[in-house]
Every structure is written in structure tokens, then in C-alpha cells.
Structure 1
Amino acid sequence: MQDAPVRDGGESPLFSIIIPLEYHRGQWELSWLGWVSQTADKSLYEIILVVPPDFTARDELVVLAGNQARIEDAGFEHDIGLCAFGATKARGKYLFFTESHCRPEPDVIELCIRAIDAHPDWAGFSCQSVPICHNRLSVAEAAMYQADIEFGMKQHPWRKVLDQCFVTRSDVYWECGGLREELGHFAEWVLAAAYHARGHAIGYLEEARFHHYYVGEVGELKKFTLDFVQGEIRYLSEARNDPGSELLEIPVEWRERDQRDALLARNALNALMRDSLAGRGWKRPDEMLRSLRRWAMPALRGDLGVRTAARLTAIYARAVLTGLGYIGSSDAIGRWMKCYIASLIRLQRLDCIHHAHRQAGPVAGLMGKQIIAQIGFHAEESSAGHTFRWSEPQAAVRIKGTPGRNIVRIRSPALRAPLDTIGTYFYLDGKPVDPEAIVTGSDSYTLNLDMPPSGIATLAWACPVLRGVGDSRRLGLSIVSIDVGQETSEAEAGDCVAAFPKE
């Protein structure tokens, strides 16, 4: 959470209008005229113009603003970073975030004052966005985004922060962590979720209108979606548990990212091949071939295949959309605009995940906080009083422990057979785990492992396939949790589970 700035002395205005002068799309003078034409008394609000380092019209801005605004130079180039910086300079009880390509109608401030009096339960509110279009693509772009804005403002339970025109109590803004520059425009969703999780209501003031300029250029659309997606993947990589984080929808590309992890797939394939070379896998040649087909391609290509397919889909959609911009009907342009954006977002998510640092921290929803990646698992289910996930006959997990000797306990209820009769073989970073280092209990395997200096290793296993009655899945072990702890003297004596807290 960001800390609220220390205010200077003096009387504070009711509103601090924060205008970032990036992405102004040639509209910043019109935006300025809209603000200086407000019908409300000028003493009620201050205007803060936040200027990025590369703003080319600074001299003109100084002349135009005169003494009617404060100009703040920021070291950021992104709108969100400029807004966040402007908030630290604001003196108003209410922060008013907008964009420099948005023009307010003259009565906006008056309407906001009335709304504050009429809705004391609102910690903030967004105003109405009215599109300005100037070509066929901008019409389709506006229709697509306006539909999303309308859904957020009128139907979605919490996604109501619209940085085109968002008013908020300053104290609540700081309580909820403020806008995070590194998240780009995804920061709006994170902030909205934080408000909702903390019980702060955000309203929609439809009568207060802003005119928003849509650029209508495919390249700008690509840049905007990439900015949002980069922030989304960066936020998910942090694995934070801030209030509201549980509200944010996890995209399928993120949920399935480990299924395309080539290193994990190679470890699962290694477990399969070692099992086969030892003579265990050839008892069922058909199952052996199924497993080989399952792991060979992800082990060799990783996510290359799915990213290539996504790239080709996006290229095709863009080509069609560009052509329709010249000769297509409005309906066709609208349809292909949505197709292009959807395909572009999928491609950008896959690319961002591919280039993300994979060791950022634990991944929510797996079998324990020390599991930072996994491959070869079915969905969570419950049976016989246990909540667990079936693995496939081969599976692998990337575990995080400490350098040197660690105890890894795999809780696995004996749902298919006693564990010591299944025939499960474990491999650490591709090498077989010594059977003497494994203690098999009634509902767990406890492994005594030497971790590398990084403290991170890949643990894989292979076992005979299980076919459930009426179940087409290929099952391996039922996994409740995987815990990693340091070695203790009791563990050395044989009581390996003493390294873990009692249930």
C-alpha cells in the first residue's frame, strides 16, 4: 500500500483535478478549455497538470495554464504513473482523475458536488464517457469499449473505476493502495477490487459527461492491450494476497501456463523413459505410447506451438480488420474488431507469460506454498473425506526449499491401493531418488532430498496408470499436499514427518 503524502499548510480545495499529459492524442488544449470553462466556483478545485519527460509542448502549456493550474514534472511516461504522482501533490479532499484526451462538459464539477451531497455512502464514482469518433475504426473501437464500460458501470459488482473520469475521496484512495504505475491500466481493476473488498462503494454519475476521443488506429489498440496485459501478468506473478486480489479473474492462459513448461515436461518425460528402461513401463505398451505422445511435444516445443498458433490467428484477424477499414460494412468492422482484440490479448498473455520470471514466488491453488510450478495434474476434487488432485501417471513439480538436505512430504491418501504396493518411483532433477531416502507411510511419501544451492529443484514421479470406473482419465497418485521442510534429527532417525507441523 502506498503512503499518503504529507500536505502543505493552507486551505485545501474540495477537488484536485489530476490531468496526465501523456496519450493526449492532440486533444490536450480542448481538455484544458473544458476545465477552465466550469460553471462551479474556481476556489472549489485545483488543476494539476502532470507532465512526462518527453512532452513537446511544455512552453505552450505554461503560457496556456498561466496561474490557473500547477504544472508538475514527473519522471513517468505512463498515464497511470502520472496520475499516481499527481495524487501525491494533491491537496483536495477529493481526487479527480481524468485523461488529457477527455473534455468535460461545463457543469461536471457542479454535478459532482451534488452527487457527493446526495450519496454520502459513495467513496468514489465514475462519470459518463461519451465517445468522439472520426473514422470507421474509431466508431468500432468506441462501440466495443463503450459496451465494456456500460457493463462495468451498470452491471458488474465492482469494476467501476474509469480513469477517464473517476472521483474518489482522498483518504479512501490511499487506504486502498492507490494506482500502481507498474501495472499500467490494469491498475484500475486492482484499485476497484480493493475498494470493493474493503467495503467502499463506487457509484456511477451518468449525468456528468466527458467526451472521450477514440484514436481509431490498429497500432494504438495493440499498444493499449499490451499495456493492460503486461500489468495483469505482472500482478499475477506477484502472487499477492491484498484485499481484492481474490476478486480478479484468472485468465486461462495463466491457469494453464505450467502445462507448457518445457523443463517440467522434460522431467516428466525423463521419469517415463527411466521407468520404461527399467522394464516397468513396457507391461502395457498401449499406455506407454499414450504417455510418450503426452510428453514428447511439450518437452520438445514448450509453449512454441500454442504461441505460434495464437500469433497466426492475430495476424490474420488484423489483416482482415485492416482491409475492412477500407471496404467493409460497419457491422463487419465491429465483429472483426472484437475478434482481433480477443486474439491479440491471448497472444500477448502467452508472450508475457513466456518472458516472465518463472521463479517469482509460490503459485496460488497448488498443493502447498513451496510448489512454484506443476505439470501433469487433473482438477481438484473430493472423495472419501479428502480434497485432492489426481496426478497423471507421470507428473512433475518445481519445489522451493533451502540449499542442502530437505524433507519433502507428499500426502497421498491410499484411494487406489496401499501406497507401498503401487510402485511409484521418484526423480529429482532427472536423477532417481534413492529408495533408502523414501519412507512410505499409510497416506504419505516422505523423501529425504539434497537440494541444489538455489534451493529450487524439480521433483518428478512415475507410477502405473489407474483407470477409474466410468472415468476416461489416466490417473496416477491422489495428492492432497506437498510440503517441504528442513531436515531434523528425528528425521535422520527415521521419523521424517517430524519436520512438519502436526495436523
Structure 2
Amino acid sequence: MLDVTTTSDGACPLFSIIIPLEFHRGQWEQSWLGWTSQTADRALYEIILVVPPDFTGQAELNALAAGQARLEFADSAHDIGLCAVGAARARGRYLFFTESHCWPEPDVIALCIRAIDDHPDWAGFSCRSVPICHNRLSEAEAAMYQADIEFGMKQHPWRKVLDQCFVTRRDAYQECGGLREELGHFAEWVLAAGYHARGYAIGYLEEARFHHYYIGRIGELKTFTLDFVEGESRFLSEDRRDPGRELIEIPFEWTDRDDFDRQLAFNALNALMRYSLPRLGWKWHREERRALWRWSGPALFGDLRARVAASFAVAQARLVLTALTVVGSRDAIARWMKSYIASLIHLQRLACIRRLRGHTISAKKLLGDRVLGQLGFHELESAAGHAFRWSEPQAAVRIKGAPGRNTVCIQCPAVRESLDEIGVQFYLDGAPLDRAAIEIGLDRYMLSLDLPQTGIAILAWACPKFIGIGDARRLGLPVVGIEVNPDARGSAQKDSGLSAAISSTMVVSERN
């Protein structure tokens, strides 16, 4: 049985109810009344109202909550940041996160106490969200989000944190890293993944009901969506290895982000031109013309075409959705709202990737830890006992090694003709690699390269297309991985030359 006793001065409540007063949608008073109407003993829980700097109802707040709640003032202006502040200052054994536009039914605390007794394996649980709608747009918004909530609570293996009404043991919350303000509302997913990765179970207490007010405004819908995508992008750009990171699904915009890297595309285009012109002159076949179109677009324009198309899709969806809120059916509003959100997410992901490119951004590292970017590769597959990725007939990788001489090993299993028969040509920063610098083995190319002082360069290659049986893809080299290591022989020669120079200087000095 759960011990629900507290100290005489209430210093150790069972629950700390954390209510951030941002995004209250004019409902914070209703939320307050829901918490002060609980059937459970009031001594069992403290209410923490976390106040942002721009809160406009300060006088009403003081009059309504005086003596019944703790007011915590924070510099943050975001719900997630305010929740994090409230959690850091809470005294309860259990943290109860909610939102100021949500209000509980009177038996919520009592049901939560019973759930803790009945489910000792739960480190936390989310309650049921009941939508409150007041116009047709809010009905469509609620239907869209409620479907996602139901999927998360009842089907998804770990996406169980719902900040509208989430209860958790404080120790588990702290161990899993808590809510990170810089991730916005995407922090809920990251926290949920952290719980799952550490073996903590999160339950769903469906009988504990919260009323959630949907505002039904396109502008607010856009704000929330952009905030979520910004947080997702910050998370994906990090080079952290926190437990649960591997559970987060990477969207295709991030998986394919190097497709718009102008430097990589230019090097692939350069490899195509240098390889094909001497062989075909200007009488290119359809395959070479396809490749020219494939690489010239991103080499010249980067992601411009994709962003323009995405912007038009957002503008069209918003225009239609705005019109439908006046004259459209409920089904049409719901359909175009989903279209608007999807196009908005796509555009925002492209914008975030563009902004982060050239700054700190976590590399995909699909081909090895020394490969910072790759262009022209298909998905991972298996054949002949090897897991590898087919490159296209032209491909480019951004590699990082030590300044000076390095050895680059490109591992290629024997799934097409032998490597010395393929006739591949390599290029380093646009210049053809000398044949003497290429050693061909049974299952690998060994390249001897001189890297600049930064240690970063772009290695590209071109080769004839491999035609797979029943495979319409453009296939080049099968690549298991790429290793970059300092050339020990080059380093030894440099050391030997330096030693000789020092010895010669010493002899001259002794003679003088």
C-alpha cells in the first residue's frame, strides 16, 4: 500500500502538480478550479504555478491562488522550459505535469494514488485526454491529435509521455534527463525514448480524465508545428549518445540531406564529366544524360528547387484550409488540415537543415566514422554474406583524416566483376587521382592521398553502370565501409627526414 502520509508542515507532498502558465488559451482559471476541486486530501499534493515573464494576469493570479499554490517565476517563455523549472523546484515524490489549458475531473488524484498501488512496475503514466472544441477547425485539430495520442498510448512501443497529463516518479524523471527546453515539444518524445531505453515502464491510466481545450486557429497550429520540428532538428543535429536516441525515427529529409550538398554534388558532376567526356565526347547516351540532370540540379541550386516546391505546397494548403473553415465540410477541413501540417513539417525540416549546414551538425556516418557526408548511395542491403550500400555510378564522400598523407580503404565485396576490371576513376577535390596512388585488392581499393591542413577533403569516383537482374537502379560500387588512416610510411619518411636534418645540423655545429 502506498504511504500517503506527509510531514506536519506539508514539506513532503506525494504529488507536485506543475502547471506552466504559457499557452493557457484563456483557460488557466478553469484549470485552477479543476485542481482545487479534487476529492483527495489537499495535503497530498502541492500546486506549482510556473509564471513566464510576459504573463498578463498577475493580479488575478495573486487573488485566486494566494495561499493555495506556490508561484515560481521563470525566465523561460516556453511550456517545456517552465515545466523543467517547476520540476527542479518541486518537493513531491511524484511529478505531475499538465498544461494550463487542461483541467482534471475531480477524481484524478484519487485514481492516480490507486494506480500507483496497482501498478508498482510503472515509473510513470499518462492520463486520458478528452477534447474540448468550439469551432470546426478545433474539431479537425482535435481529431488529428487525438488519433496520434491514441496511437501513442495504446499501440506505439514507447511514445507514452503526454505532457497534458503525465505522472512520473521524480527519480526516474531525473535519471532520464528530464524535459529539455531547447527541444521544445519534441522533448516529450525524447524523454519517452529515454524511459524506454532504460527499462522504465510508462502506463496509460485511461479512467483518469483531463479536458483539453483546442483553440482552433491556423496561426496557433502553425506555431506548435514549427516548434516541434525545430526541436526535432536540434536533437538530430546533436552528436550525443544518450540512451533512447537510437529509438527516434530519422525522417527522410534528414536521411537524404546530403542530396542537396552543393559541394558533394559538384564533385559528383565533375567526376561524371571527366570520366565520360574522354570516352564518349559529346555523344552521350541516355544514361549519361540522366546522370547529368541528376547532379547538375543540386550542384547549381542546392535545395532551392525542393524549398520552392515545399513553399508552394504550404501556401496552397493554407489557402484551401482557410477557405474551407468558412464554406467546407468537416471531412474536407480534416483532410486539408493534415495536408497543411505535413507540408509545413516538410518545409520546416528543409529550412532547419539549410540553416544548420556548415555549422555543428551530426554526420550520418553510414559508411564509417571518418565519412562526414555522402552523396549518391542507396539503402543498406545484403548479398553474398555482406551488408553494403550500392553507390551510383558517380558518388562523392566528404572524408576527414590527418593533415598530410593518408591511406583510404574502400571495402567492396565481390558482387559484380572483379575490382580491377570495373575501370573506376577516383578524384580528390576534383582532381583525378594518379593510378600509382591506387592499389586494387580482391575486395578493396587502397588509396594513398594527401589531405589539406584541415584534414577534410571530398573523394569522388565514376565507373560504368552495373546492371542488376530486375533492378532499375543506377548502380556503381558496392561499398561496405570507408576507413581513413594516417599513412605510417609517409609519417616514418617525414620523421626520418627530420632526424637526418637534425643530425646534419648537429654535425655542422660541431665542426664550427
Whether TM exceeds 0.5 here: the answer is: yes
**What percentage of residue pairs aligned between the two structures are identical?**
69
**Which segments of 5 or more consecutive residues in structure 1 lack a partner in the other structure?**
1-8, 494-503
Partner of 2:63: 63
- Distance in 2 between the 1:433 and 1:166 partners? 59
Report the counterpart of residue 219 of structure 1 in structure 2: 219
SS in 2 for 1:445: strand
- Separation (CA, whole Å) in 2 of partners of 1:282 and 1:186: 51
Larger radius of gyration: 2
Q: Offset at 1:247?
A: 1.9
Report SS of the residue matched to 2:48.
Answer: strand
Query: CA 1:133 to 1:460, structure 2 compared with 1: closer, same or farther past 3 Å?
Result: same
Separation (CA, whole Å) in 1 of partners of 2:487 and 2:280:
31
Residue 346 of structure 2: SS of its match in structure 1? Answer: helix
Question: Do the aligned partners of residues 295 and 261 (structure 1) sit closer, same or farther apart at CA in structure 2, a change above 3 Å counting?
Answer: same
Question: How much has 1:209 moved relative to structure 2?
Answer: 1.4
Partner of 1:272: 272
- 1:318 matched to 2:309? The reply is no
Task: Kindly report which structure 2 residues correspond to 1:443-458, keeping only aligned pairs within 5 A, or say none.
Answer: 443-458=443-458
Partner of 2:150: 150
- What residue in structure 2 maps to residue 287 of structure 1? 287
Alignment of 1:187 with 2:187, yes or no, is yes
Contact 1:98–1:163 (8 Å) recurs in 2: yes
The corresponding residue for 2:170 is 170
Shift of 1:360: 3.5
Query: How far apart, CA to CA, are the structure 1 residues paired with 2:33 and 2:455?
Result: 59
Partner of 1:86: 86
* Distance (whole Å) between structure 1 residues aligned to residue 179 and residue 355 of structure 2: 24
Q: Which amino acid aligns with 1:150?
A: E
Tell me, yes or no, if the aligned pair for 2:365 and 2:372 is still in contact at 8 Å: no
Aligned residues: 485
CA displacement, residues 430-461 of structure 1 (integer Å, 9 cap, x when unaligned): 22223333222222122222323333222111
- Which residue does 1:306 correspond to in 2? 306
Deviations 1:451-487 (A, max 9, x none): 2333322211111222223322222111110112222
Match in the other structure for 1:103: 103
Runs of at least 4 residues off by over 6 Å: 280-284, 490-493
401-410 or 212-221, which deviates more: 401-410
Query: 2 CA distance for matches of 1:162 and 1:362?
Result: 28
Alignment-derived partner of residue 375 in structure 2: 375
Residue 86 (structure 1) shift: 1.2
The whole-number CA distance in structure 2 between the counterparts of 1:25 and 1:260 is 40
Does the 8 Å contact 1:359/1:372 carry over to 2?
no
SS at match of 1:160: coil
Structure 1 Cα separation of the partners of residues 46 and 61 of structure 2: 16
1:281 deviates by 7.2
Show the counterpart of 1:113.
Answer: 113
Q: Which one-letter code corresponds to 1:368 in the other structure?
A: G
1:23-69 CA distances to partner (integer Å, 9 max, x unpaired)? 11111122122212222212111111112222222343233221222
SS of structure 2 residue aligned to 1:95: strand
Say whether residues 1:330 and 2:334 are aligned partners.
Answer: no
Preserved contact between residue 272 and residue 281 of structure 1 (Cα < 8 Å): no
TM-score by length of 1: 0.91
**Deviation string, structure 1 residues 297-355 (Cα, Å, up to 9, x no partner):** 22222222122112111111111111111111222212211221122212222222222
Change (3 A) 1:222 1:172: same
Is there any run of 5+ residues in structure 2 with no aligned partner, and where?
Answer: 1-8, 494-512
- 1:344 and 2:368 equivalent? no
SS state at 2:382 partner: strand
CA distance in 1, matches of 2:187, 2:76: 15
Identify which range, 427-436 or 28-37, moves more after superposition: 427-436
Q: Could you tell which deviates more after superposition, 255-264 or 279-288?
A: 279-288
